[in-house]
Amino acid sequence: MDNNIVSDEKLLELFDAAQKAALHSYSPYSKFPVGAAVLFSDGKVFTGCNVENRSFGLTNCAERSAVFAAVSAGSSRICAVAIATPKSEYPVGPCGACRQVLTEFGSGEVPVLFGPDKLKLKRSSLGELYPFDSLHELAD
Q: Which residues are catalytic?
A: 63
Torsional sign, CA 81, 77, 64, 107: negative
Question: For residues 5 and 1, what is the distance between their CA atoms, to the nearest angstrom?
Answer: 8
Rounded distance, CA 116 to CA 94, Å?
13
Round to whole Å and give the CA distance between 135 and 101.
Answer: 13
Longest CA–CA separation in the chain, Å: 42
With beta carbons less than 8 A apart as the criterion, state whether 82 and 91 touch: no
- Residues 98, 103, 108, 112: is their CA dihedral positive or negative? negative
Q: Measure CA 73 to chain center.
A: 17
